[in-house]
Each structure stands twice: as structure tokens, then as C-alpha cells.
Amino acid sequence: MENKGCVLAVDDQPINVKLLSVQLQSAGFVVLMAYGGQEALDMAAKHMPDLILLDIMMPDMDGYEVCRRLKANAITAGIPVIFISALTDVAEKVNAFKCGGVDYICKPFQKDEVISRVGTHLNLYFLQRSLKEKVEEETAKRRSGEQMLVQQSKMAAMGEMLGMITHQWKQPLNAIAVTAQDLEDAFTHNELDEEYLHSSVATITNQTEFMQRTADDFRNFLRPSKEKIRFGVNDAVEEVISMFSPYFAKSGIGLKLWLKGDDFTITGYPNEFKQVVLNLISNSKDAILSRKDKGTENKIDITVGKDSGGHITITIRDTGGGIPEDVMDKIFKPYFTTKPPDKGTGIGLYMSKTIIETNMGWQLSVSNVEGGAEFRIDTWHLQK
């Protein structure tokens, strides 16, 4: 006969256990037997039955106490318990449910009643267990999906950074190469005295120090912030601009910063905030570079100010022609991009929104303005 589930029958009277066991086995259940409270607890933890039929009056430990202990142990807490007892008092039944029982059967029990109640509760239990597994499976899937998104957005940011480091290093690398060549020339022409040597070494050292510094800057930039701290919004935005404006200038785009005050400190994750600003200005750069109308000025204005309620706001406004109305409600969705695959991943704005709204509790919104788009970070949530 098929196995319909494993039932642990507990009673201090061996005859009762035997009777239950015969009846349940004939209906296709596997039956384990225990003759006292402690033995029941041990067997439950060891064999993990799918259901427990539990007598109330037992000499070593009563059924209520057994049930309480089962429920208090994370391993056995989920196993449904049906009480089976000669006590017919309503208060006893209520107590059984209070201890965590799912049902109550009165002695002397009828075979059919026991079998159908056990069957019903087992079905419920299996259903519940499979639902729980489904939920866990789905949650795990979602979590790994999100991790992948975070990973991809990091890769995208790193790709962007690599481009900028290469750009920043071009000039010092050139200078070093020229200095080395120059040293060799000086040697061939007998012009290499001590002073010449020192000055050349100084040039090379300066350049390598600069390269070291830029590499460190970029590394710090990508490092996740460990905890929320108070930081100066002006400094954070200024840092992004000074790091990236040479790179933007190369594409003919001016980054302009408008600070409407000098004491704008706020609590949040500074590195993530800088990454959001970088995401937004990178999008503006892409929009400006792909704009058909070449007549307008290529610029990105970044403003740090306060709204009428005194809360810090940061706006990033560009001259990239704005966002077409038909894609406006999709741009924050993961993987939505209007760019070719080698240019866009579609996760920049999704990550930015997550960082600003979920992680910091602020707000990121967008609107089209004259000639371009304006992204706006409002920090009023936090300070409400």
C-alpha cells in the first residue's frame, strides 16, 4: 500500500498505541510508537514524523507539556499535533488548542474518525509544507536575481571607470615615456649630469604619484559604504565632478556645479550617493552625444540647494533633448534601455532608484525641461 505519511502515536497505555497503530497502518500510514512524554519528544526530533497523535494524561509528562515543548523546538514546531484523550471537558479541549494542537479526538476513538482526521490534517500539512518550499524557492530566485543586477551594475560602473582611468593616465604615461627617452638622449649626448638625473626622476615620481592617487580615488569610489554617516553633499558632488569633468570635457560636455549654500550635510551612504550622481551624469552625457540637434550647448548643470521646507535637493539637468513621453514610465525598470547593447545595460536608473529610495529613504524623480531632462533627488523623507 502507498505511504500516506508517517504518524507518531503516543499513549502510556500500550494497548491504545497498538490499536491506533493497527488501524492507521491498515489505512496506509506508517506508524511510530511512543509510550511516554519524553520518549515522544526524542522520537519526534529523531524521526520527524508528519503528524503526532498525543495522549493527554501520561505519568511522566502530560500531553500539554509535550506539545508545548514540541512547539518550542524549531525542528519539531511545524509538526501538527492531534490530541487524543478521555477528557471530554470543554476547558481541556480549549487548553489542547492553546498548547498548539490542531485537533482533538475523544476516547474511546472510532477507527474511521481517527483515519479521516489524521488524513485531513496530513493533507493540510503537506500542502502547507509545499507552499512554504515554493515561497522559499521563489525568494531565493529573486534574491539571486537581485544579486546579479547589483553585480551587473558594478561591472557597468567599473567599465565606465576603466575608461576614465585610461583617459586620466594617458597624459602621465606620455610624460614618463618622454622623460625616459629624454634620459637616454641626454646620456648619448653626454648631457646627463646629477642635476639632470634628479630632475628627471622627480618628474617620473610626480607622475606616478598622480597615477597612484587617481587609482585610489576610483577604488574608493567603488567601495560600498559600510554604514550611514553624516556627509557633506557639496563635497560629495564636487568630488564626482572633479574626478569626471576631464573625461566629460573630452566629449565636449561642460559640467557646471551650482551650490546654493555651504552647509549641506546629510545622513546616508556617501559612496552610493556619488555612484548615483555618476549614473545620472553619464546618462546625460549619452543623451547629449546622441542628440540630433547639434546647435545647442552641451552642458550638464548640477544644483545643490534646499526646497521650501529646508530639505536638501540635488538636481541634474542636461541639454540632451529629454526623455520621449512613451518611455518615460519605463526608464526606472531594470534592463530597460534605448541604447545599443554595447552602450546600455538598462540598470543604471534602476540601481539609482533603489539606492536613493530603498536604501536612503529619499526620492528620485524625473521631468522633461526646456531642451533636456532633469533628474531630482529629494531628501525630505529622511528629515520629515
Question: Which residues of the shown chain bind ligand ADP in the complex (CB under 6 A)?
Answer: 279, 283-284, 287, 318, 320, 323, 327, 331, 336-339, 344-350, 373
Give the one entry of Mg ion, ligand ADP, none that residue 35 binds, where binding means its C-beta sits below a cut-off of 5 to 8 angstroms depending on kind. Answer: none
CA 364/CA 241 separation, integer angstroms: 20
CB of 302 to ligand ADP, least distance (A): 12
Rounded to a whole number of angstroms, the minimum distance from the CB of residue 316 to ligand ADP is 8
68, 73, 74, 75 alpha-carbon torsion, rounded to 10°: -110
Q: Pick one of ligand ADP, Mg ion, none as the site partner of residue 354 (Cβ within 5 to 8 A by kind).
A: none
Question: Of the candidates 254, 215, 259, which has an alpha carbon nearest to the alpha carbon of residue 236?
Answer: 259
Q: Which amino acid is at 28?
A: G
Answer for which of 23, 203, 283, 354 binds Mg ion (CB under 5 A) is: 283
Closest distance of CB 340 from ligand ADP, Å: 10
Nearest of 207, 215, 220, 209 to residue 166 by alpha carbon:
215
Binder of residue 346, out of Mg ion, ligand ADP, none (CB less than 5 to 8 A by kind):
ligand ADP
The yes or no reply on residue 348 touching Mg ion (CB under 5 A) is: yes
By the rule CB under 5 A, 346 interacts with Mg ion: no
Q: What are phi and psi of 303, to 5 degrees?
A: -120, 130
Of Mg ion, ligand ADP, none, which one sits near residue 210, judging by CB under 5 to 8 A according to partner kind?
Answer: none
Q: How far is the CB of 357 from Mg ion (least distance, A)?
A: 17
For Mg ion, the closer CB: 95 or 283: 283
Q: Are strands 265-268 and 229-232 parallel, antiparallel or unpaired?
A: antiparallel
The option from ligand ADP, Mg ion, none interacting with 125 (CB < 5 to 8 A, set by class) reads none
Phi, psi torsion values for 51, nearest 5 degrees: -160, 150
Minimal CA–CA distance to 279: which of 314, 325, 234, 228?
314
| Using rule CB under 5 A, residue 284 touches Mg ion | no
* Whole-angstrom distance, CA of residue 353 vs CA of residue 376: 11
244: Cβ contacts below 8 Å, ≥ 6 apart: 164, 255, 278, 281
Our CB check for ligand ADP shows the closer of 52 and 323 to be 323
Partner in contact with 135, chosen from ligand ADP, Mg ion, none, beta carbon below 5 to 8 Å by kind: none
